[in-house]
Structure 1
């Protein structure tokens, strides 16, 4: 049976997510004209080695459904921030590639978004507390990846 503190931690994560996402989304849209969902996909592309990911990779990296990722990529294509390219080795798949416009818009939005995160989230924790939260949540995420066996608590 799960510990009470473990269940309490999970409940806090869910409540925090539900409370924070709308706030961060509103502030990001007001400052940059992009939704937090667009920002998330642009972030993944920005961090990829060549600004490009297959649609499957993008879907795997996202918390959204594959069909939602596909629709968002179409929206980003329409906004000139991403291109969609056929995969020459597999005609059934395609790549999403960050454009110069997408890179510029992401870079402009990032400092404002990070400031919102700091104002609404980080400001309520010490650096040491934030490090513990990040370490614990990262361990849980890594355990969910079948290629990474769970690590014992340390």
Structure 2
């Protein structure tokens, strides 16, 4: 099987390798910091953030799965763990009785608020301080183009 060699392949291959390693390092460092400062994982924080920003602090499970890029089983496990901590509750969808919602509780809102300050500081230290102001526009444009390509060629499954 022939290996695909993109135009400018040396630079693109090097960028790919740096992206993979840097993204993994950044996620690990953010996760480690959240565990140490807030007693939660990066997945916990991400879910609390998504629900905090959602109307009424609630989302259908299939939409939350899509936003978290989680399989149905992984999402169910994550939500169950957060329900046990009192941060979320599940609600049956009244409109179709098959689906359900993940709903942010007051304890979940409080946990998010408590974690947000230190997490913001960590993001500043690990990510923003290394970038120039112009990098934000460029990085956003590249990532939005990549996201659009992925959505067009490999749409995420929204069936949950």
Task: Give the shorter-chain TM-score range.
Answer: 0.7 to 0.9
Which protein, 1 or 2, shows the higher relative CO under an 8 Å CA cutoff with sep ≥ 6? 2
2:85 is aligned with 1:86: no
In structure 1, C-alpha distance between the alignment counterparts of 2:138 and 2:72, rounded to whole Å: 32
Alignment of 1:63-142 (within 5 A): 63-142=69-148
Question: Structure 1 residue 25: deviation in Å?
Answer: 0.7
In the other structure, the counterpart of 1:20 is 26
Superposed CA offset, 1:51-82 (max 9, x none): 11111001111122221111111111111111
Question: Structure 1 residue 8: deviation in Å?
Answer: 2.5
Gaps of 5+ in 2: 153-160
In the other structure, the counterpart of 1:11 is 17
2:48 is aligned with 1:37: no
**RMSD of aligned C-alpha atoms?**
1.7
Question: Structure 1 residue 98: deviation in Å?
Answer: 0.6
TM-score relative to the length of structure 2? 0.84
User: Which of the numbers 144, 147, 150 marks the counterpart of 2:150?
Assistant: 144
Gaps of 5+ in 1: 147-154
| Number of equivalenced pairs | 147
Superposed CA offset, 1:23-66 (max 9, x none): 11111111111110111111111111121111100111112222
In structure 2, C-alpha distance between the alignment counterparts of 1:90 and 1:10, rounded to whole Å: 43
In structure 2, C-alpha distance between the alignment counterparts of 1:30 and 1:16, rounded to whole Å: 21
In the other structure, the counterpart of 2:156 is none
In structure 1, C-alpha distance between the alignment counterparts of 2:120 and 2:70, rounded to whole Å: 21
In structure 1, C-alpha distance between the alignment counterparts of 2:77 and 2:19, rounded to whole Å: 27
Of stretches 127-136 and 26-35 in structure 1, the one that deviates more from structure 2 is: 127-136
Question: Structure 1 residue 139: deviation in Å?
Answer: 2.1
Of stretches 35-44 and 87-96 in structure 1, the one that deviates more from structure 2 is: 87-96
TM-score relative to the length of structure 1? 0.87
